[in-house]
Amino acid sequence: MSMVTVVGLGKIGLPLAVTVASAGHHVTGADICRQVVADVMAGHPPFPGEPGLNSRLAEVRHLDLLRATTETAEAVCASDVVVIVVPLVIGADRRPDYRALDAAVDAVGAGLRVGSLVIVETTLPVHTTRRRIAPRLAAASGLRPGPDFALCHSPERVSSGSVFADLARYPKLVGGIDRLSGERAKDFYASCLKFVERPDLARPNGVWDLGSAEAAEMAKLAETTYRDVNIALANEFACFAHEAGLDLLAIIEAANSQPYSHLHRPGIAVGGHCIPVYPWLYAAGDPAARLPVLAREINDAMPARAVDMLVALAGGLRGRRAAVLGLAYRGGVKETAFTGALPVVRALQAQGALPLVHDPLYDDAELSELGLQPYRLGEPCDVAIVQTDHPQYARLAPGDLPGVTALLDGRSVTDPALWSGVPRLAIGAGAAGLAAPA
pTM assigned to the model: 0.92
Radius of gyration of the chain (CA): 24
Instruction: Give just the sign of the alpha carbon dihedral 339, 341, 346, 351.
Output: positive
Final residue of a structural domain among 187, 211, 235: 211
Do 197 and 123 share a structural domain? yes
Residue whose C-alpha is closest to residue 428's, from 406, 403, 416, 410: 410
Do 324 and 200 share a structural domain? no
Q: Above 80 in pLDDT, residue 437?
A: no
Do 253 and 206 share a structural domain? no
Instruction: Give just the sign of the alpha carbon dihedral 389, 392, 397, 403.
Output: negative
Do 297 and 207 share a structural domain? no
User: Is 11 one of the annotated active-site residues of the chain?
Assistant: no
Examine residue 220 and state whether it is found in any structural domain, yes or no: no
Do 148 and 262 share a structural domain? no
Spatial neighbors of 257 by CB under 8 A, at least 6 apart, are: none
Examine residue 222 and state whether it is found in any structural domain, yes or no: no
Residue type, 251: I
User: Of all residues in the chain, what percent carry a pLDDT higher than 90?
Assistant: 95
Final residue of a structural domain among 211, 231, 263: 211
Examine residue 248 and state whether it is found in any structural domain, yes or no: yes
Q: Where are the alpha helices (DSSP H) in 42-129?
A: 53-62, 72-77, 99-111, 128
Do 254 and 202 share a structural domain? no
- Cα angle 199, 205, 210 (rounded to 5 degrees) comes to 130
> On the CB side of 176, how many CA atoms lie within 13 Å of its CA?
20
Point out the catalytic residue in the list 172, 186, 220, 381.
220
The pLDDT value given to residue 49: 85
Distance from C-alpha of 319 to C-alpha of 132, rounded to nearest angstrom: 53
Do 206 and 266 share a structural domain? no
Do 190 and 114 share a structural domain? yes
Distance from C-alpha of 215 to C-alpha of 375, rounded to nearest angstrom: 47
Torsion of CA 345, 50, 182, 1, to 10 degrees: 160
Examine residue 216 and state whether it is found in any structural domain, yes or no: no
Q: pLDDT tens across 382-391, in order?
A: 999 999 999 9
From residue 393, how far is each of 326, 400, 402 by CA, in Å? 9, 10, 15
CATH number at residue 65: 3.40.50.720
Examine residue 231 and state whether it is found in any structural domain, yes or no: no
DSSP of 233-301: HHHHHHHHHHHHT--HHHHHHHHTTSTT-------S---SSSTTTHHHHHHHH-TT--HHHHHHHHHHT
Share the mean pLDDT of the chain.
96
Examine residue 401 and state whether it is found in any structural domain, yes or no: yes
Q: pLDDT tens across 211-268, in order?
A: 999 999 999 999 999 999 999 999 999 999 999 999 999 999 999 999 999 999 999 9
Q: How confident is the model at residue 435 (pLDDT cuts 50, 70, 90)?
A: low
Q: How confident is the model at residue 406 (pLDDT cuts 50, 70, 90)?
A: very high
Q: Are 401 and 303 in contact (CB under 8 A)?
A: no
Do 394 and 258 share a structural domain? yes
Do 259 and 207 share a structural domain? no
> On the CB side of 389, how many CA atoms lie within 13 Å of its CA?
14
Residue whose C-alpha is closest to residue 264's, from 212, 229, 299, 215: 229
Examine residue 219 and state whether it is found in any structural domain, yes or no: no
Spatial neighbors of 425 by CB under 8 A, at least 6 apart, are: 242, 309, 310, 313, 406, 407, 408, 409, 433, 434
Point out the catalytic residue in the list 152, 239, 274, 381.
274
3-state class of 180 per DSSP? Answer: helix
Strand locations in 157-250 (E): 172-176, 207-209
* 56-60, 95-99, 247-251, 332-336: range with lowest mean pLDDT: 332-336
* Backbone φ and ψ of 159, nearest 5°: -125, 145
- Cα angle 95, 98, 102 (rounded to 5 degrees) comes to 165
Q: Are 167 and 158 in contact (CB under 8 A)?
A: yes
Q: pLDDT tens across 102-122, in order?
A: 999 999 999 999 999 999 999
Do 196 and 262 share a structural domain? no
Q: What is the mean pLDDT of residues 395-424?
A: 96
User: Is 33 one of the annotated active-site residues of the chain?
Assistant: no
Do 254 and 205 share a structural domain? no
Q: How confident is the model at residue 160 (pLDDT cuts 50, 70, 90)?
A: confident
Provide the number of structural domains found in the chain. 2
Examine residue 226 and state whether it is found in any structural domain, yes or no: no
Final residue of a structural domain among 211, 232, 261: 211
The pLDDT value given to residue 434: 54
Q: What domain range includes position 324?
A: 244-438
* Backbone φ and ψ of 81, nearest 5°: -130, 135
Q: Above 60 in pLDDT, residue 433?
A: no
From residue 278, how far is each of 94, 101, 163, 284 by CA, in Å? 10, 15, 19, 10
